Chains A and B, each alone.
Chain A
Amino acid sequence: MTARPSADDALSPSQLAAKYGLSVSGARPGLIDYMRQLWGRRHFILAFSQAKLTAQYSKAKLGQLWQVVTPLLNALVYYLIFGLMLGTKKGIPDDVFVPFLVTGVFVFTFTQSSVMAGVRAISGNLGLVRALHFPRASLPISFALQQLQQLLFSMVVLVLIVVGFGSYPSLSWLLVIPALALQFVFNTGLALIMARMGSKTPDLAQLMPFVMRTWMYASGVMFSIPIMLKDKPSWIADVLQYNPAAVYMDLIRFAMIDGYSSSNLPEHVWALAVGWALLLGVFGFVYFWKAEERYGRG
């Protein structure tokens, strides 16, 4: 490599790069560009989520049966503790309480596991981030999608339980689809936010279970918020009912359980559901994208 006289020699590295149209490696693309790249990776996102889902139980003897058995056992435990021993069903008829509880558990678990998977989406996959190129948002989105598929297995159990307690399929069941779609957007936004925070501070993986448990008990998974908080100032019940987890739970209960009428829903419930989904979805996406070029550092 003897130096040869060339006009290029006089240029600084950045001028040289500009002259030949080289771009900064690993620079963050614009937001629109980023969305386009992400769309281009949709097959990877889907395949990755399905692979994670399958890999989860591949060593168990019962295999994929656990997809259904796990939520069933979960519901059973909550029924034993809260339904039979603590009697939190106050004010809810017997044939409504079991579907009420199980719906609450499943729907909240959907959000909870999306958050927990989000925290570890980047920090737990640094090997992947440091080896291959793809929009990093693929990972948290993929994990949220995995939880959605997990929830669909739980819905099989839920349908059996709901029918078993006397609510038969009707047109209102169709409302489950928009409700879950909105919750999925909300969860994805949350997972994106947690993924960025977790990539900087892996300690969140230890902290979040406590936050999530507090959130769960405050969202009326196993009791009716308006009935339980009757004698307290009404704003407390309002705040709890307007929280997104409670909103999505209530919508699905209302859609599927005959005995759970619209009088149990807070006002403007659909507007709330859309609002929360848009707020978290858009904010989460932009917030995650802002740090795109820094995720490999760990």
Chain B
Amino acid sequence: MADNNTERVPTVIADDVHIVYRVHGAGGGRGSATAALSRILRGKKDKQQRGVREVHAVRGVSFTAYRGEAIGLIGTNGSGKSTLLRAIAGLLPTERGHVYTEGQPSLLGVNAALMGDLTGERNVILGGLAMGMSREQIRDRYQSIVDFSGINEKGDFITLPMRTYSSGMGARLRFSIAAAKNHDVLMIDEALATGDRKFQIRSERRIRELRKEAGTVFLVSHRNKSIRDTCDRVLWLEKGELLMDGPTEEVLKEYEKETGK
């Protein structure tokens, strides 16, 4: 498919992206008040000692993603995969470098907008609005969201506060809300694939549908099987650096060798 493909339209360009988190209250040494005071008195000489620590989560990653690609992100825990996704989505500002995108990439996930004290019903509406859907769109899709989540299969749970749901039920509703919208550039964090076996199959099918509608898909996952199933290109991140970028099989083989699988 390589050579006659003349029309390669880039959708996401990452150009030497650096991302730094600043963490307060993580200064070295004791956490007592006197320690904090002495840190302040010692002045601004050393940020490390003032209780602000910098975590350099992504260090100089560059790549170009094209329309129609499904790209997997792999790497051990804490290697910067989710952080990189957030930067592509424009949710985390870059310290240095730029991310150029076509349209507005969106992260599949709505958890942070939902409130446990509200009923599932109100959370569907709130989550939809938070993702930028209009009231009409939500009204149209409300029933399909509830049906997809299967929350009401065991009785009328959608009118109960979300904090009363079992963890599986909550995860299912969250996924159903998040997956209700179509996206140009779609990014999926594996943590979404939750719930029982039946729901997992249903949600994998829905992710495939979303892939078809989206121009470019990014998938973060620790399950090499789901990467093989969905992606044709893989980025391997380690300690915030891009270790490898290539076709799925090639990169996964190296990755599996490295992680001793």
Residue numbers of A with Cβ under 8 A of B are 1-2, 4, 6, 8, 13-14, 16-17, 20-27, 40-41, 43-44, 47-48, 51-52, 54-55, 58-59, 125, 127-134, 202, 293-294, 296-298
A17 & B13 in contact (Cβ 8 Å cutoff): yes
Instruction: Judge if B192 is at the interface, Cβ distance under 8 Å.
Output: no
Q: For residues 200 through 226 of chain B, which have their beta carbon under 8 Å from a beta carbon of chain A? A: none
A13 & B2 in contact (Cβ 8 Å cutoff): no
Cα–Cα distance between A202 and B21 once the two chains are bound (Å): 15
Q: For residues 88 through 136 of chain B, which have their beta carbon under 8 Å from a beta carbon of chain A? A: 88-93, 98-102, 104-107, 109-113, 115, 117-118, 122, 125-126, 129-132, 134-135
Residue numbers of B with Cβ under 8 A of A are 2-3, 5, 8-15, 21-22, 24, 62, 64, 86-93, 98-102, 104-107, 109-113, 115, 117-118, 122, 125-126, 129-132, 134-135, 161, 233, 245-247
A13 & B62 in contact (Cβ 8 Å cutoff): yes
Cα–Cα distance between A47 and B123 once the two chains are bound (Å): 10
Cα–Cα distance between A256 and B187 once the two chains are bound (Å): 55
Cα–Cα distance between A298 and B86 once the two chains are bound (Å): 14
Cα–Cα distance between A128 and B114 once the two chains are bound (Å): 9
Cα–Cα distance between A128 and B112 once the two chains are bound (Å): 5
A13 & B8 in contact (Cβ 8 Å cutoff): no
Report 7 cross-chain contacts, Cβ distance below 8 Å, ordered by A residue: A13-B15, A17-B15, A25-B99, A55-B118, A128-B130, A132-B107, A132-B130
- Inside 8 A of A133's CB, which chain B residues have their CB? 89-91, 104, 106, 132
Cα–Cα distance between A1 and B250 once the two chains are bound (Å): 11
- Inside 8 A of A52's CB, which chain B residues have their CB? 115
A23 to chain B, nearest CB (A): 7
B257 to chain A, nearest CB (A): 20
B125 & A134 in contact (Cβ 8 Å cutoff): no
A132 & B113 in contact (Cβ 8 Å cutoff): yes
Cα–Cα distance between A125 and B13 once the two chains are bound (Å): 29
A270 to chain B, nearest CB (A): 36
Given contacts A297-B22, A298-B21, contact A6 B8 (CB under 8 A): yes
A167 to chain B, nearest CB (A): 38
Cα–Cα distance between A296 and B92 once the two chains are bound (Å): 5
- Inside 8 A of B109's CB, which chain A residues have their CB? 131
A27 & B10 in contact (Cβ 8 Å cutoff): no
| Candidates B3, B64, B105, B233; contact of A25 at CB < 8 Å | B105
Residue of A nearest to B161 (CB): A58
A281 to chain B, nearest CB (A): 24
- Inside 8 A of A296's CB, which chain B residues have their CB? 86, 91-93
A185 to chain B, nearest CB (A): 23
Cα–Cα distance between A298 and B87 once the two chains are bound (Å): 14
Cα–Cα distance between A14 and B64 once the two chains are bound (Å): 11
Cα–Cα distance between A200 and B109 once the two chains are bound (Å): 26
A4 to chain B, nearest CB (A): 6
B111 to chain A, nearest CB (A): 7
Given contacts A1-B246, A16-B64, contact A25 B122 (CB under 8 A): no
Cα–Cα distance between A83 and B62 once the two chains are bound (Å): 68
Cα–Cα distance between A134 and B113 once the two chains are bound (Å): 12
- Inside 8 A of B105's CB, which chain A residues have their CB? 25
Cα–Cα distance between A127 and B86 once the two chains are bound (Å): 11
- Inside 8 A of A41's CB, which chain B residues have their CB? 129, 132
Given contacts A1-B247, A298-B22, contact A58 B117 (CB under 8 A): yes
- Inside 8 A of B130's CB, which chain A residues have their CB? 44, 48, 128, 132, 134
| Candidates A8, A44, A298; contact of B8 at CB < 8 Å | A8
A207 to chain B, nearest CB (A): 14
Cα–Cα distance between A48 and B127 once the two chains are bound (Å): 9
| Candidates A8, A23, A58, A294; contact of B118 at CB < 8 Å | A58
Given contacts A1-B246, A26-B91, A47-B126, contact A125 B112 (CB under 8 A): yes
Residue of A nearest to B115 (CB): A55
- Inside 8 A of A20's CB, which chain B residues have their CB? 9-10, 102
Residue of B nearest to A295 (CB): B93
A47 to chain B, nearest CB (A): 5
